[in-house]
Amino acid sequence: MAQLLAPLREDPIAAVPWHGAEPPSRVLVIRLQAFGDTVATLPYVAALKRLWMHTEFDVLTREEVADLPRSVDLFTNVFALRGRRDWRRQALFSLLLLRQLIARRYEVVIDLQRNRVSHFVRRALRPPAWSEYDRYSPRLGGERTRLTIEALGVRLPPVYPELRLRQENVGLARLRDAGWSGGDVVVLNPAGGFPTRNWPLPNYVAFADLWRTRRGHEDQFAVLGTPQLRAKADYLKATLADRLLDLVGRTSASEAFDILRRATLVVSEDSGLMHLAWVSGAPTLGLLGSSRHVWSAPHGNYSLCLHSGDLPCGACMDTECRFGDVHCLTRYTPERVVAAALTLLDAVTRTQKVIWPGKNAEA
């Protein structure tokens, strides 16, 4: 247990590459972060699995975010730590899992967390090859994931939004119960965690009105996510009425994934659902206020990020705006967001969706 307190190496990416003549038999991926950060790693692991086709991949993650890793056709075993965000409790539960993990005889451990708990687990497993995540470089999270994997001495093939669910169509019943007509769905996600990440709710309503006018379609809109969104969903429902499918608190992560990958467009603040959206392959327009877009922007050539990085106060990470007006987000009018979304959809129709290599469009 004392090893948990051992200092972590300060290298941007610490690694011992895989030197085997053949791919390894078993790989353990460790990711103990929040939901969005966890699901954002999955396409990169899937790309490595395409390269190492006969390798078994397991994952060690947190119990609260384990539903999607369990639901996708990617991992042989999903080991879930209890303890929520308390690293001491996580450490205790990792000890309880250690015998099972050791029995798997991993030849490679990819530590995509690089904290005290993941460091301890990796050292306890003593794999011949391993790599540790670069937590602090000013790069997109996915890019740091890719570089961590490639530090094993491999070159990843293209990364696509191609995750497959073990059970298909798990979200269809939820959509139909909410009143889905079978047509196009645009997901609205006002789920930023604090005021400096929130686009005003009336803007979402104005966006929906303009969207229908500009597209000339009878698109339906949807809101889904955790029960914390209930008040915002009620506001949107009161104004959009039957045009809005209210799925808040009614889906599992895998059901939400299935719904999102059917979406024509997702307009989202910085949240776990935004990351789930681009991982699913949905065209995703991120509205990032105080967030660091260099870390958090949605990935791939089918995403767009309207962010605050061009402002002197941009990417401040403050929970309250020092100017009291959150102008980093309010300057993005519904008209501008509709125009950006239509440009994104036009680009998506003319190219194959790819996460890497592929340049994110930014406005």
337-362 pLDDT per residue, tens: 999 999 999 999 999 999 999 654 34
**In sequence order, what are the residues at sequence separation of 6 or more whose Cβ sits closer than 8 angstroms to the Cβ of residue 58?**
26, 27, 28, 29, 75, 76, 77, 78, 79, 104, 106
pLDDT band of residue 43 (cuts 50, 70, 90) is: very high
| Full DSSP string of 225-291 | E-GGGHHHHHHHHHHHGGGEEEEET---HHHHHHHHTT-SEEEEESSHHHHHHHHHT--EEEE-SSS
Give the pLDDT mean for 243-254: 97
Residue 4 has pLDDT above 50, yes or no: no
**Comma-separated ranges of CATH 3.40.50.2000 domains in the chain:** 2-150, 172-362
d(CA 174, CA 271): 21
- For the chain, the average pLDDT equals 94
At residue 345, the pLDDT reads: 97
pLDDT, average across residues 13-35: 96
3-state class (DSSP) for residue 15: strand
The two tokens of residue 70 are 């369990």
Query: DSSP class of residue 72?
Result: B
Q: Up-side HSE of residue 296: CA atoms within 13 Å toward CB?
A: 25
Written out in words, the top-level CATH class of the domain with range 2-150 is alpha beta
Share of the chain above pLDDT 90, in %: 91
CA distance 16 to 127: 9
Angle between helices 42-51 and 141-150 (to 10 degrees): 30
Q: Which residue has the tokens 């540790």?
A: 132
Residue 32 pLDDT more than 80? yes
- Could you give the angle at the alpha carbon of 160 between the alpha carbons of 62 and 356, nearest 5°? 95
Whole-model pTM: value is 0.93
8 Å CB contact between 50 and 171? no
Question: CB-side exposure of 286: number of CA atoms within 13 Å?
Answer: 33
Q: What three-state secondary structure class fits 23?
A: coil
Judge whether residue 11 has pLDDT over 60. no
Residues 221 and 187: beta-carbon distance below 8 Å: yes
pLDDT tens by residue, 257-283? 999 999 999 999 999 999 999 999 999
| Tokens representing residue 299 in the block | 């990935």
Q: How far apart are CA 114 and CA 111, in angstroms?
A: 6
- Amino acid making up residue 218: E
**DSSP reduced 3-state for 31:** coil
Q: Which residue has the tokens 């995509």?
A: 112
Give the torsion sign (CA, 132, 145, 271, 28).
negative
Q: At what angle do helices 87-103 and 116-125 cross, to 10 degrees?
A: 20
pLDDT tens across 296-338, in order? Answer: 999 999 999 999 999 999 999 999 999 999 999 999 999 999 9
pLDDT at 234: 98
Architecture of domain 172-362: 3-Layer(aba) Sandwich (3.40)
- β-sheet bridge partners, residue 362: 305
Angstrom distance (rounded) from CA 45 to CA 22: 18
User: Nearest CA to 165 among 12, 300, 276?
Assistant: 276
State yes or no: pLDDT of 3 exceeds 70.
no
CB within 8 A of 304, min separation 6: which ones?
284, 285, 286, 298, 340, 341, 343, 344, 360, 361, 362, 363
